[in-house]
Structure 1
Amino acid sequence: MKTPRTRDAMAGPLRRASTFCLLLVLALMARATWLAVAEADGYTSNPANARITIDRYAQPLGNILVGGQPVTGSVPTEGPLAFKRSYTDGPLYASLTGYTSQAYGSNQLESIFADLLDGSDPRLTGPVEALTDPLTRSRPAGGDVVTTIDPAVQRAGWAALGGRQGAAVAIDPATGRILGLVSTPSYDPSGITGRSKADERAWQALSADSGKAMVNGALRATYAPGSTFKLVVAAAALESGLYPNVDTPTASPNPYTLPGTRTVLTNENAAAPCANATLRTALEYSCNNVFAKAAADLGEAKLSAQAAKFGFNLEKLDTPVRAATSVYPAGMEPSQVALTGIGQFSVTATPLQMALVSAAVANDGVLMTPSTVSKLTDHSGRTVQEFAPAELGRVMSAQTAKQLQSAMVSVVTDGTGKAAAIPGLTVGGKTGTAQHGVDNSGLPYAWFTSWADDGKGHRIAVAAVVLNGSTDRDEITGGGLAGPVAKAMTAAYLKR
């Protein structure tokens, strides 16, 4: 029989062991609580968590709508991922939708609104579902993204670009809503949405193309804008008082020698009346001497300030896809400033940016924030979020805008932009042919930016660039190659 002393001797170690075990249990409970509460979001959003992908494709995704109709869909698949994304007219709308892939992630609208499309956005959950969904491990049906794109404008731009490499953007100047967003060459996102060998081969082929087909040339690529940038210079000249109006003769010798150099700048059309030409005439004939001289007279600071009002050097311009930054350079010599006056040296712009230039002119000097999305809805069509038009800023006075409107109309009626004229519409435009490459060795870029008015309160602004319109340099002109693209998109919108 054990004595009391023996029992007491055994009780001590048992109490210590029990206390230690209790502390271990409490520590495990605390750790589990910490993981479930404090670090839950981290595990939920970790790309290595396969459950995220399984849950995302457990049900059909919501859709991206164009003209009220879905241009996306979902199709059933075999394996742990029940559905994969599909696209209607994939190449036509790839520059808008982007892609979402079981293997390669997502981009553009598919990525920005991924939570809405897969149903995990908390705004899609009603009060009853908020209580029941965590228990049933279910989520609401995916919501929809309603875009501003006009399908007729989109198709017109696509057809006009044809098989050439280029891009085009069309905007409603009064609202900033993007009506067309075309980039060629393009690709079909449906080919990379799954995990099959065919999807892998398609992805590898697109990657081997250096991403050319997958680059959103309308928003994410920048090019020398050439003579279309002369609109920015003209605005700066009028706003600063360098010239009182577009019909005042300028002190512009022809040819013009770049300041501080012996380099003589000539004009494409040697017979054009460019000596001391007015801004109107200089825009009509795209006189290099006038705008290089104006840029030199204005100086870098004034030109940079005016360009910034149009959106140049703006690092965050979201449509909601973020556009590449269009650049007006800094720290230049006077001769280099003069070259920026004709959209050369280191000036770069997206097609979106040059569409914004025309949009600001057409909207009496006020620039609206560009957007491709009008609202988000749940599966039943209830609005979850609306994107109202928003002003980006005043670019110029209404008087200056009216002057430029008049001059741009002259470009189409009497100048280099005649190919963009549309019977029954008032059309204003500006052509551009931009040199690029080492010693201008590359084929020039053909540009056209314009606005049009149907006289009934409807306007559209367009910018188009064609990068490989012809192998013959003499045949590459903004009016001849890019002008018809802008014309087609304009007619599709205003001539219906």
Structure 2
Amino acid sequence: MNKPIRTISVFALVLFLALLLNVTYLQYWRADSLDSRADNRRAVDAEFSQPRGAILVGNDPIATSEPSDDRYEYQRTYSDSPLYAPLTGWYNYFNAQSGTCSSCQQFVEQTQDDVLSGSDDRLFVTRLVDLLSNQESVGGNVKLTINARAQQAAYDGLLDVVGDDGEGAVVALEPRTGKILAMVSLPSFNANALADHDLTKVQRTADRLQQGGDSSPLVNRAVQTTLPPGSTFKLVTAAAAIEDGLYTEDDDVPGGATYQLPQTTGDTGLIDNEGRDCGTDLIPFTQALENSCNTTFARMAVELGVDKLSAQAEAFGFNQQYFTDLSPQATSVFPDDADEPQTGQSGIGQFEVRATPLQMAMVAAGIANGGEVMKPYLVDEVQSPDFESIETTDPETLSQAVSSDTADQLTDMMVSTVDNGTASPAAITGISVAGKTGTAQSGTDSSPYAWFVSFAPAENPTVAVAVMIQDAPGLSRGEIAGGLLGGPIAKAVMEAVIK
């Protein structure tokens, strides 16, 4: 072979090897990243050419893929959508293209996308069987922890209070596991309108829903809105005082009609009880909680100091991220650098204290569970397309927030608050209920926020509830009260679980 032919042969061989290496690199090493690229329309089109797994509540699907007669073979549909939309979210061409965008709002459709699409490693055998049998690939199913009756009770109760244009949220937890039994956020939306195959229509719907700013229906207020928790935070202050040995439930605590915060003068630092029965000097600790005495708990917070109060709040979950089934999670905040007057205000759930409804449900659930706070979770089980269990979520302890003795003392006082105090609207005949009300100032000319937390049965709790009413347009400022508005909602949710 002469030299020119040999040179050309070697060059051709080099090109062939380079092509072989490039194909191997693209097909093997970069396959996943190329599939997930937002501009890879073929991969996204393939997603809509096979059925996506179902999202289940109990054994009932609330999100399914149905055969379609338009440009895509399957249409994602949602039953009872306003009831479950803040949990399921939606799945359409736009968010299919965004893939696992870490900065995007993610509902179950996104956080469990690998399972629902069938690409999860736990479904490898299922995919292999489908391939070998030449059958259509189907995604796995995701079963939620939601109790359908509790979810409906929470939705109906909250809607009755805030109306179609109001804002609020309800969360119910199983104290011993952290399972989310109900999670409702209003206003809600119709996920079917966002899952439509007409992308122009989808964009118009999304634009309309997002025009509400902070009141956007796309915001899940249960986990993405933080507000001053008001007097429901007094449970944290009481827990810190008992844990510290400062007081027990049988002790008398400072009462009085007013309390001047340290280092302050005049009305700006004056705490009052708005006419509630808080005595003139010392009163029983239980009476202070029954009547939600601001003067007692502000003074108690100052006695404890910001460090102890902050440590107790963090033991319940403040200043932490602990929920991954929906994203993003707003962090509930307790300020760790407050001065004395600010600490006093913080002790009654004001100043810079902010909490999500999920966080306050965790406070109630932690007390109900003997002081042990469980990590909340929404995804109960991952299933094969044939509904066979592949993996079940195991309960996980977040912290031992208080001792069992402290939890028992707090429970006794919370039961008395339902039986004899401000939380009486949550009372259930024949069942011992523990509860605490809260009404927090918004800091503006708008109405205050109404809160309510509770659990039942008090002696063996199976459900803990937090209700937050952010805006109820049909009610006057004087009608906003945690017990009056939140108590009946919490009662209905608890009854739905217990009875």
Scaled by the length of structure 2, the TM-score of the pair is: 0.91
Q: 1:72 aligns with which of 51, 63, 74?
A: 63
1:218-272 Cα distance to aligned partner (Å, 9 max, x none)? 11111110000000000000001111x1221124554111111112111122554
The equivalent of 1:38 in structure 2 is 29
1:288-339 Cα distance to aligned partner (Å, 9 max, x none)? 1111111111111101110011000112433465532111012211111110
Q: 1:344 aligns with which of 350, 372, 375?
A: 350
Q: Does 1:148 align with 2:145?
A: yes
Counterparts of 2:240 and 2:16 in 1: how far apart (Å)?
Answer: 73
The equivalent of 2:181 in structure 1 is 179
Counterparts of 2:123 and 2:428 in 1: how far apart (Å)?
Answer: 46
Q: 1:228 aligns with which of 232, 240, 244?
A: 232
The equivalent of 2:102 in structure 1 is none
Counterparts of 1:357 and 1:72 in 2: how far apart (Å)?
Answer: 31
Offset, 1:478: 0.3
> Which letter does structure 2 place at the counterpart of 1:233?
T
**Structure 1's 61 and 319: CA in aligned 2 closer, same or farther, altered over 3 A?**
closer
The equivalent of 1:442 in structure 2 is 446
Scaled by the length of structure 1, the TM-score of the pair is: 0.92
Partners of 1:274 and 1:289 within 8 A in 2:
no
SS at match of 2:350: coil
The equivalent of 2:468 in structure 1 is 465
Partners of 2:130 and 2:136 within 8 A in 1:
no
Offset, 1:12: 2.1
1:131-164 Cα distance to aligned partner (Å, 9 max, x none)? 873996x763211111111111011011111123
Offset, 1:417: 0.9
Offset, 1:340: 0.2
1:421-457 Cα distance to aligned partner (Å, 9 max, x none)? 11011111100000113xx4221000000011076x5
SS at match of 1:423: coil
Q: 1:61 aligns with which of 28, 47, 52?
A: 52
Q: Does 1:19 align with 2:19?
A: no
Unaligned runs of 5+ in 2: 97-104
1:370-406 Cα distance to aligned partner (Å, 9 max, x none)? 1112111101122111102222221111111110000
Q: Does 1:114 align with 2:113?
A: yes
Counterparts of 2:341 and 2:17 in 1: how far apart (Å)?
Answer: 75
Structure with higher Rg: it is 1
**Structure 1's 178 and 316: CA in aligned 2 closer, same or farther, altered over 3 A?**
closer
> Which letter does structure 1 place at the counterpart of 2:50?
Q
Large movers: runs of 4+ above 6 Å: none
The equivalent of 1:397 in structure 2 is 403
1:95-128 Cα distance to aligned partner (Å, 9 max, x none)? 221211123448311111112112222322328x
The equivalent of 2:131 in structure 1 is 133
The equivalent of 1:285 in structure 2 is 291
Q: 1:248 aligns with which of 248, 251, 262?
A: 251
> Which letter does structure 1 place at the counterpart of 2:360?
M
Map of 1:404-483 to 2, 5 A cutoff? 404-437=410-443, 440-453=444-457, 457=460, 459-469=462-472, 470-483=474-487
**Structure 1's 186 and 248: CA in aligned 2 closer, same or farther, altered over 3 A?**
same
**Structure 1's 454 and 311: CA in aligned 2 closer, same or farther, altered over 3 A?**
closer
- Counting matched residue pairs gives 480
Counterparts of 1:385 and 1:47 in 2: how far apart (Å)?
Answer: 30
Return 232-241 or 14-23, whichever deviates more: 14-23
1:64-103 Cα distance to aligned partner (Å, 9 max, x none)? 1112110112233345421121000000011221211123
**Structure 1's 358 and 379: CA in aligned 2 closer, same or farther, altered over 3 A?**
same
> Which letter does structure 2 place at the counterpart of 1:482?
G
**Structure 1's 132 and 408: CA in aligned 2 closer, same or farther, altered over 3 A?**
closer
Return 374-383 or 335-344, whichever deviates more: 374-383
Offset, 1:40: 1.6
Q: RMSD of the alignment, in Å? A: 2.1
SS at match of 1:125: helix
Counterparts of 1:223 and 1:444 in 2: how far apart (Å)?
Answer: 10
Map of 1:281-430 to 2, 5 A cutoff? 281-319=287-325, 321=327, 323-430=329-436
The equivalent of 1:93 in structure 2 is 84
SS at match of 1:466: strand
The equivalent of 1:484 in structure 2 is 488
Return 384-393 or 269-278, whichever deviates more: 269-278
